[in-house]
């Protein structure tokens, strides 16, 4: 046995020394890491070169591509013995095998593209783990994602190479330290990928989390950068910690932080911890892993897009890319070192986490039609969350739970079609966090929104049940498909307007050339009620031989609730030839973009059209707007500082019949402007008492709303409310506006948030706050979406409001 062990060691050293003698980063790249920025294709080549130079110690996989067709990589680093058994190691971990012994450490870099030292550090860290730090791998498997956001990173690197001076210009006012819009931080669709872990609206997030959930590592680190004048941040994190985070997860953060501090103290590098970066919002690169059982952490190096290759800080120091890389390499290696030293404890504690699930609510029940609930089921599947559908039952099962709509405990019955999600599963902690009716805050100073409850975000009727349900008649099942068949005997087809699936169906049949109508008032036929907004496909208005076949094809493809009518006469309400039945337009849509607009909001709208509605929309820079207006029917103005009222060409276009949709903070530009029907509502809090300097930051949050959820009352007669019977808005600011006439969505009198933080001085001010509506401007319309309904692409229930504004308002 001793001879065999020595032979294995000598073999490993021979491979290690041979590779070390023939490969160095400088030799491959032509420069030392930290001296230049490395474009993504060269990063990909580098890791495959490492794989060739260190056979058996590193495995590189292409796992997907970005929207701009750049490769997404995963890199596995370990001893030759362990890399040969990756599948076995993963299986032991996922099944919590008694003989599991290796700590799995996942290192993620450059989720924000212009925080550019991350990917450079990944290259150096991988090399060090294969050479002088290979001893750490005896007890660990290291999984590395060298660049989570290749599109954004290459955008930044290309910018720097375009404007970077030679020799390096280190002054902050120079062009190379001031990125042009939209900057390298976001991905192709201008999303912040570090807010997208749980929602997976973007392809990079979906690919990454799919791979992540196949491993569920013991430790996960998300490498970032912050302002150039900040030192290094590492854990422990700041409060608030979510209450589900275990003592072990808290304690091991401290253990790793202490190890980092030892290296930084020795090198004389400044750092801080326990400040700013909390562990609450579930869609970060530290919290999502934490709620999935990892020790999830954020590391922040000073630098980001202002730093370039070198920059002079406010204290006169020079911050170089090489310094930033060195700091990230140090913490990355320190993380692996600490994990290797505590491998058995990490394994033991994860196994406890996977098995012990003790939450206030054990089960969540969702009641909705198949099309309404489908987006939620897609999200659950992406997150590896198990769910069941009540598919067979001899009798309805009585239960009692917290009703999300009413906010009180109520009796209800489980019925066929209900969705049941239990917290008693491996992803149970994540289920609890995503569904919880009210998030508990240990501190109101937070880094992000404080509420996200999925039943509210998806607009679904739901119950939270304390205890396991006693129903035995439910099982996982396939989602329903329409079994309707269109034939030449039908004079019309009706599709209930109830979800984004219906909206995609509408867009698809329009793009295919069919004429589509909508019923403005609603009607009843053969005992069935059809609400206002019901879509109608009239045989007489679509005189083409393939009409019925097309109806079949598209109804099947989009699984919509479609009904056939042999007559245009209904039992009650307006018949199909009435003026209450109007043609749905196929509007040409524009989205303003550029330096006066929030790139995040531009991206939310752009992504909505291209990837969710599948409808073309034009991105238009401000300087091209006048030339574009004659080709547009609808124009979106995203958040930012654009002077709407001062643009004569734009205001004339609206007066002549255009639809202007103003989102989020952009409404401020029209508040109190003559003719635009929007006024600021005065606050009622009154002056606050003088505050000491040390308490000013905490006092300011009394004037803030940090992502709180409010129920709305609706004007259901208005086309903007088609498809809604209730709506919850996510308020991200305290400003209150009043629209001319009756708003379509507004808060109740003396409104109270059902979840999330609301500052004490602005609570009363929210009473009857307007949320969304439309105001006539000449022959056109200005639509105000005061609370951004497309926030981060995950507020699913807000999307139909946007579609309604495009198709049905101003008709």
Sort residue 640 into left (φ over 0), alpha (ψ -120 to 50) or beta: left
Measured CA distances, 784 to 326, 518, 660, 676 (Å): 49, 23, 9, 10
232: Cβ contacts below 8 Å, ≥ 6 apart: 264, 269, 270, 271, 272, 299, 300, 301, 302, 327, 331
Query: What pLDDT, on a 0 to 100 scale, did the predictor assign at position 470?
Result: 65
| Predicted pLDDT at 694 | 58
Residue 543 confidence (pLDDT): 93
Those residues with Cβ within 8 angstroms of residue 478's Cβ, 6 or more apart along the chain or in another chain = none
Helix (H, G, I), strand (E, B) or coil at 495: strand
Cα–Cα distance between 538 and 514 in angstroms, integer? 9
| Total-model pTM | 0.94
Residue 52 neighbours by CB under 8 Å, 6+ apart = none
What is the chain's length? 811
Residues whose CB is less than 8 angstroms from the CB of residue 39 and which lie 6 or more positions away in sequence, other chains included: 154, 157, 158
Question: Given this model, what pLDDT does residue 700 score?
Answer: 83
Identify how many contiguous H helices and E strands the chain contains and give both numbers.
22, 38
- Asked if 301 contacts 322 with a C-beta cutoff of 8 angstroms, the reply is no
Q: What pLDDT score does 16 carry? A: 47
Answer whether 410's CB lies under 8 Å from 666's CB. Answer: no
Tokens of 521: 């008032």
What pLDDT score does 482 carry? 61
Look at residue 391 in the predicted model and tell me its pLDDT: 80
- Are the CB atoms for 710 and 754 separated by under 8 Å? yes
Element (H, E) at 765: none
Which residues are paired to 363 by β-bridges?
A: 422, 465
My answer on whether omega of the bond before 376 falls inside 30° of 0, hence cis, is: no
With a cut of 70, list the residues of the chain below it in pLDDT: 1-21, 393-396, 470-482, 683-697
**d(C-alpha 506, C-alpha 555), whole Å:** 10
Say what the pLDDT of residue 696 is: 65
Do the Cβ atoms of 428 and 401 come closer than 8 Å? no
State the pLDDT at residue 443: 80
Count the Cβ atoms, other than its own, within 10 Å of residue 388.
Answer: 16
Nearest-angstrom CA–CA distance, 660 and 783: 6
């Amino acid at each position: 046995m001793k001879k065999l062990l020595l032979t294995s060691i000598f073999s490993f050293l021979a491979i290690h020394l041979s590779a070390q003698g023939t490969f160095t980063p400088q030799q491959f790249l032509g420069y030392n890491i930290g001296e230049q920025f490395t474009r993504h294709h060269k990063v990909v080549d580098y890791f495959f070169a490492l794989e060739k130079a260190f056979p058996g110690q590193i495995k590189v996989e292409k796992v997907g591509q970005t929207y701009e067709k750049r490769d997404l990589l995963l890199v596995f680093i370990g001893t030759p013995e362990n890399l040969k058994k990756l599948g076995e190691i993963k299986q032991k971990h996922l099944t919590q095998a008694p003989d599991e012994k290796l700590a799995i450490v996942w290192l993620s870099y450059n989720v924000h593209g212009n925080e550019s030292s991350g990917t450079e550090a990944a290259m150096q860290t991988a090399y060090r783990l294969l050479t002088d730090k290979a001893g750490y791998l005896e007890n660990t498997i290291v999984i590395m994602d060298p660049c989570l956001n290749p599109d954004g990173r290459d955008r930044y690197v290309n910018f720097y190479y375009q404007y970077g001076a030679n020799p390096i210009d280190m002054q902050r006012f120079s062009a190379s330290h001031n990125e042009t819009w939209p900057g390298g931080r976001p991905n192709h669709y201008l999303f912040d990928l570090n807010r997208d872990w749980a929602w997976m609206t973007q392809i990079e997030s979906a690919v990454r989390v799919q791979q992540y959930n196949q491993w569920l590592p013991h430790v996960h680190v998300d490498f970032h950068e912050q302002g150039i004048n900040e030192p290094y941040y590492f854990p422990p994190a700041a409060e608030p910690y979510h209450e589900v985070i275990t003592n072990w997860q808290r304690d091991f953060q401290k253990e790793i932080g202490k190890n980092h501090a030892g290296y930084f103290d020795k090198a004389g590098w400044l750092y801080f911890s326990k400040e700013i970066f909390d562990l609450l919002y579930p869609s970060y690169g530290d919290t999502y892993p934490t709620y999935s059982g990892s020790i999830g952490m954020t590391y922040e190096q000073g630098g980001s897009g202002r730093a370039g290759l070198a920059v002079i800080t406010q204290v006169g120091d020079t911050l170089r890319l090489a310094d930033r890389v060195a700091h990230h390499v140090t913490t990355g290696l320190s993380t692996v070192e600490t994990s290797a030293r505590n491998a058995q404890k990490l394994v033991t504690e994860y196994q406890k986490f996977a098995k012990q699930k003790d939450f206030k609510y054990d089960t969540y029940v969702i009641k909705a039609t198949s099309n309404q609930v489908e987006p939620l089921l897609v999200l659950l599947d992406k997150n590896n969350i198990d769910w069941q559908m009540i598919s067979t039952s001899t009798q309805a099962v009585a239960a009692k739970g917290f009703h999300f709509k009413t906010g009180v405990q109520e009796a209800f019955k489980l019925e066929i079609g209900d969705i049941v999600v239990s917290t008693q599963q491996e992803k149970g902690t994540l289920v609890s966090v995503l569904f919880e009716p009210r998030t508990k805050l240990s501190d109101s100073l937070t880094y992000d929104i404080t509420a996200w409850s999925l039943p509210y975000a998806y607009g679904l009727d739901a119950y939270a049940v304390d205890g396991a349900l006693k129903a035995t008649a439910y099982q996982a099942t396939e989602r329903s498909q329409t079994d309707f068949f269109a034939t030449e005997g039908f004079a019309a087809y009706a599709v209930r307007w109830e979800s984004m699936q219906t909206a995609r169906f509408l867009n698809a049949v329009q793009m295919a050339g069919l004429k589509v109508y909508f019923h403005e008032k609603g009607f009843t036929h053969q005992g069935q009620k059809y609400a206002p907004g019901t879509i109608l496909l009239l045989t007489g208005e679509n005189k083409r031989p393939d009409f019925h076949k097309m109806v079949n094809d598209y109804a099947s493809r989009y699984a919509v609730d479609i009904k056939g009518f042999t007559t245009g006469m209904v039992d009650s309400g307006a018949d199909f030839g009435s003026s209450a039945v109007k043609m749905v337009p196929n509007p040409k849509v524009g989205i303003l973009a550029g330096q006066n607009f929030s790139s995040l909001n531009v991206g939310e709208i752009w992504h909505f059209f291209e990837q969710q509605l599948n409808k073309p929309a034009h991105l238009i820079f401000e300087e091209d707007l006048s030339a574009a207006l004659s080709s547009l029917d609808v124009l979106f103005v995203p958040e930012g500082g654009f002077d709407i009222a001062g643009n004569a060409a734009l205001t004339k276009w609206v007066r002549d019949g255009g639809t202007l949709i103003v989102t989020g903070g952009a409404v401020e530009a029209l508040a109190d402007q003559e003719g635009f029907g929007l006024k600021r509502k005065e606050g009622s809090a009154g002056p606050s008492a003088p505050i000491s300097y040390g308490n000013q930051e905490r006092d300011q949050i009394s004037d803030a709303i940090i992502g709180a959820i409010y129920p709305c009352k609706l004007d259901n007669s208005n086309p903007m409310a088609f498809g809604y019977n209730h709506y919850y808005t996510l308020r991200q600011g305290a400003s209150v506006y009043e629209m001319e006439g009756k708003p379509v969505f507004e808060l109740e009198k003396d409104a109270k948030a059902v979840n999330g933080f609301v500052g004490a001085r602005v609570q009363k001010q929210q009473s009857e706050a307007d949320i969304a509506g439309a105001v006539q401007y000449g022959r056109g319309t200005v639509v105000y979406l005061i609370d951004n309904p497309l926030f981060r692409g995950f507020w699913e229930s807000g999307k139909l409001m946007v579609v309604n504004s495009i198709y049905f308002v101003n008709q």
